[in-house]
Structure 1
Amino acid sequence: MTSRGDGARPAGRSPRQPARTARAAKWGKVAAVVLSALLLPGAVSAVNTVGRFQDLYTVRAGAAALPPSDRPAAHDPAKPTVALLLGGSGTNVADLLGPFEVLESSGAVNAYLVAAGPGTAPLTGGLDVLPDLTFDGLDRLLAGHGDRLDAVVVPAVQQPDPAESARLVSWLRRQSAAGAVTVSVCNGARLLAGTGLLDGRPATSHWWRMSGLRADFPRVGWVTGHRYVDDGGVITTAGVLSGIDGALRIVERLAGQDAARLAAQRVRWRHYSPGTAAPLHASRLEPPDVVVALNASYQTKPSRIGVPLVEGVGELELASVFISYTEESMIGRTVAVGDGPVRSRHGLTFVPRASLTAAAGGLDRLVVPGLDAARRHVLGTAPSAATGGLRPEYLHAREGFPFDAVVLDVARTYDVRTARWTAKTLEYPVRDVRLSGSAWPWGATLVPAGLALLGAAAALSAAAPARRVLWSRRRRAGADSCTRQ
């Protein structure tokens, strides 16, 4: 019989087991440090991103107390009529105002913003608009003129409550059954798909939304690669500014290509493709697109941008500011400021959230939209009491499509990569727009790196006492073994 003293191993113990245990413990420590390094920047990212998105669509207090619009008084029964849908919880400002300005610029249609109920409706980034008509008001208007609705534009809307959702779905189905062409813009395809009107049809939407739409609505033939898909009674467009092409297609069908060409010229849309949908580059997430996560999560001080509402401002000029700095690039918060409601170029009523003097103390920039406002220098050219001590920045100082000026400003004021991401999510070609500025948001990049180092240091510091205790136990165990031998 062999004793323990002659070198025999205890039964069942492998000579490799201690080494494996040591390696497992080592990798466990490494994993704990890595996890701790990621935990702190991850937590900061979650809190900041949720807060940033929640700020995009906020329903103003006392919205229902404002008087209705008087635009429908000028209704022309000789022209086709198009309704653009407003959601009570919020509507994408570019999906809505881009098609609206195209339709109005054609001079060939009646275009109205319609909502389930009265009162102002929130748009992206702190802009409020007054609907022209409620659903019931539209019915009365058309019946009074012996008229009918020719088309409905469905922009991306925030998730409505169940009651409003049921009413929107019912209304869209009713208009389609009565012969109106239904047209979705960007993620408005989700609401339209929920009506069942897209089942068995080819349809498109924003590239970012496509995987979710395919999973949720498998009966729809989702396709990519074109700015819009025209399937007769239904037209669907790709992301955001593809709504411009969708609106031009509506004009083509209702009033002809000459009217559509005129509308494209008036809004300075240089990508018009007469009679057919222009091809669209198939976008996908790429490594440089992490820039939007950095902007949303780690800016030490997001820009607070006051946007004065000026009488006669273009609808696309407004949309370019309120969506580009907020939802698309996530580099700032915008708020509409002014002394009272104003009328836009084509008669929409917009309502400021605050007076300029009241908001000025909390603002970093004062960005004034509109070519006409820039030409007239409506707020002067230097800081003053009227501007709350801020220098007015006239964004649209040159003629051109309004989003060009914003993308250029994002590149110059923030960084080029953020500007390219903004154009990408807008699905707006900028190959002919020369961008200049810092290449990357280095400040936002250093924040998560610093947080990761802090988390790792905290983990190592917390583990130090445990390591000292373990080392002490091993030394005692080694000493006891020597004593026994």
Structure 2
Amino acid sequence: MTVHEAGTGKIRVWVRRAAVVLVALLVPAGVSAVNTVGRFGDLYRARADVVSVQPAAKVHDPAKPTVALLVGGSGTNVADLLGPYEVLAGTGRFNTYVVSAGSRLVPLTGGLDIVPDLTFDELGRLLGERRDKLDAVVIPALQPPAPAEFDSINAWLRRQSAAGTLTVSVCAGARTLAATGLLDGRPATSHWTRLAGLRDDFRDVNWISGERYVDDGNVITTAGVLSGTDGALRIVERLVDMDTAREAAQAVHWRHYSPGVSARIPVSDWAASDVVVALNSSYQSRPSTIGVRLTEGIGELELAATFVSYTEESMVGRTVAVGDGPVRSRHGLTFVPRSTVASAAADLDRLLVPGLDAFRLQVPGAAGLRPEYLHTTEEFAFDPVLRDIARTYDVQTARFAAKTLEYPLLDVELTGRAWPWTETLIPAVLALLGAAAAITTGMVFRRFRAAGRRP
């Protein structure tokens, strides 16, 4: 055998090995891609039927500051919206309205549908008739809106800012705000997973890490998800007073309030243990379809904790809002279930009933489906949800959910299996099957080729 032939043989061996490794990786990667796209695609999927529901009537008090919380027709993050809403509305010191560019039912994370209180035009007529003004606007993370709606939101936010309105973004809502140009030349912050992309796309903004919020005059930006709680408390401080903000923090059991200043938070980054969310979204051995029972008078944070934690923050389940009809939340928002409990029961793995009031009333479940009450004591609404995720799925998933919520788990005890071992085994098995298929295919191909060369 010549040196050339020997070298060619070695190259062929390495090519075969590389092909086996490539196929072995492609099989679990392909399964992961299909499942993950499907999971994320479900998060803000609009309902299939058409319903017409009017929002609950609210009494406007011109003596109070008015705050509008923005929603987008393609979907809005439920925690970015409802967390600040309950903080503000719970004080009784604000007119609080959820507003949209057009009158429609808006999907929130996990398929919870909200009826906006007002459109931009209706809000303008309401304030104009009373010679009132909009004092603050809160921008949650919005799914990319249609071009016409994007232009309408941009123009509306610029008009509000020009009129002196305090503009506040929560989490990835900073992208919507940055697109208006109102953050150019300013310091700002956002969710730790979004900052790299924001730095690339909006180079004129001074993006900052490690702060709950950045207050820059008539613009406030907050870090991820539950940092919106502190952003709302900062609005209370600025438009009312610090004592009211302290009472508001106590009312929702937010233990991390930092009066008058932004608290420092860890500068997070991706870690090896964060692969847990990819395992959940791709290879979950026990996929859960979770019915969430909507009940009259439910707290907004109780709703937010349930719909965002099991879906976007941990990817352990798909949530379905169920109930007997439209409900009004504790502070006057209108939500519409997608199914009755009875009609959805056969397709549900669990029936969760959020809300302390629902627990006290012992709201019933459905035939063959036991209701699981999440909120049974006075505490921050996310604490029992994270404990349930740790207990029913695994502790690392609950910790990742808290990390993406930017919520410190200093005094929240999590118990359960440490890691999703079954979900970890599935991609390993798929990789072995892919490697075996590649090796077998190569052997068959070489035999056919050898047979073709024989005289």
The TM-score normalised by the length of structure 1 is: 0.91
Q: How does 1:211-226 map to 2 (within 5 A)?
A: 211-226=196-211
CA distance in 2, matches of 1:472, 1:334: 57
Paired residue for 2:424?
Answer: 445
Q: How does 1:68-217 map to 2 (within 5 A)?
A: 68-71=55-58, 74-217=59-202
| Aligned-partner residue type, residue 180 of structure 1 | T
Contact 1:227/1:237 (8 A) holds in 2: yes
Contact 2:73/2:106 (8 A) holds in 1: yes
Contact 2:325/2:337 (8 A) holds in 1: yes
CA distance in 2, matches of 1:143, 1:431: 47
TM superposition shift of 1:67: 2.1
SS of the residue corresponding to residue 172 of structure 1 reads helix
CA deviations on 1:273-322 (whole Å, 9 max, x unpaired) are 00000001000000010000011111134110000101111000000000
TM superposition shift of 1:455: 0.6
Paired residue for 1:256?
Answer: 241
CA distance change for structure 1 residues 64 and 162 in 2, over 3 Å: closer, same or farther? farther
CA distance in 2, matches of 1:319, 1:177: 32
Q: 2:13 aligns with which of 26, 30, 55?
A: 26
Do structure 1's residue 424 and structure 2's residue 375 form an aligned pair? no
SS of the residue corresponding to residue 411 of structure 1 reads helix
CA distance in 2, matches of 1:118, 1:125: 21
Structure 1: state its 5+ residue gaps.
1-13, 380-385, 478-485
CA distance in 1, matches of 2:396, 2:206: 33
Do structure 1's residue 289 and structure 2's residue 274 form an aligned pair? yes
Paired residue for 1:481?
Answer: none
Contact 2:55/2:333 (8 A) holds in 1: no
Q: 1:35 aligns with which of 22, 26, 30?
A: 22
Paired residue for 1:360?
Answer: 345
Contact 1:308/1:336 (8 A) holds in 2: yes
| Aligned-partner residue type, residue 406 of structure 2 | E
CA distance in 2, matches of 1:188, 1:358: 36
Contact 1:64/1:118 (8 A) holds in 2: no
Contact 1:341/1:350 (8 A) holds in 2: yes
Q: 2:294 aligns with which of 293, 309, 314?
A: 309
Q: How does 1:371-450 map to 2 (within 5 A)?
A: 371-379=356-364, 387-450=366-429
Paired residue for 2:41?
Answer: 54
CA distance in 2, matches of 1:66, 1:375: 28
Contact 1:69/1:133 (8 A) holds in 2: no
Paired residue for 1:5?
Answer: none
| Aligned-partner residue type, residue 130 of structure 2 | H
Paired residue for 1:382?
Answer: none
CA distance in 2, matches of 1:194, 1:314: 32
Contact 2:56/2:328 (8 A) holds in 1: no
Give the greater-gyration-radius structure (CA): 1
| Aligned-partner residue type, residue 95 of structure 2 | N
SS of the residue corresponding to residue 326 of structure 1 reads coil
Paired residue for 1:10?
Answer: none
Paired residue for 1:232?
Answer: 217
TM superposition shift of 1:372: 1.3
Which stretch of the first structure deviates more once superposed, 227-236 or 119-128?
A: 119-128
Counting matched residue pairs gives 455
Contact 2:55/2:334 (8 A) holds in 1: no
TM superposition shift of 1:350: 0.7
Contact 2:78/2:109 (8 A) holds in 1: yes
CA distance in 2, matches of 1:361, 1:60: 19
CA distance in 1, matches of 2:294, 2:208: 39
SS of the residue corresponding to residue 8 of structure 2 reads helix
Paired residue for 1:45?
Answer: 32
Paired residue for 1:66?
Answer: 53
Q: 2:253 aligns with which of 238, 251, 268?
A: 268
TM superposition shift of 1:175: 0.5
CA distance in 2, matches of 1:357, 1:253: 47
Which stretch of the first structure deviates more once superposed, 421-430 or 296-305?
A: 296-305
Q: 2:232 aligns with which of 233, 247, 272?
A: 247
Structure 2: state its 5+ residue gaps.
none
CA distance in 2, matches of 1:364, 1:435: 23
CA distance in 1, matches of 2:447, 2:425: 33
SS of the residue corresponding to residue 311 of structure 2 reads helix
| Aligned-partner residue type, residue 22 of structure 1 | G
| Aligned-partner residue type, residue 111 of structure 1 | T
CA distance in 1, matches of 2:159, 2:47: 30
Which stretch of the first structure deviates more once superposed, 21-30 or 175-184?
A: 21-30
CA deviations on 1:447-479 (whole Å, 9 max, x unpaired) are 1111111111111111112344567799x89xx
TM superposition shift of 1:388: 3.2
SS of the residue corresponding to residue 82 of structure 1 reads strand
TM superposition shift of 1:210: 0.6
CA distance in 1, matches of 2:254, 2:145: 32
Do structure 1's residue 278 and structure 2's residue 271 form an aligned pair? no
SS of the residue corresponding to residue 328 of structure 1 reads coil
Q: 1:459 aligns with which of 438, 448, 454?
A: 438
The TM-score normalised by the length of structure 2 is: 0.97
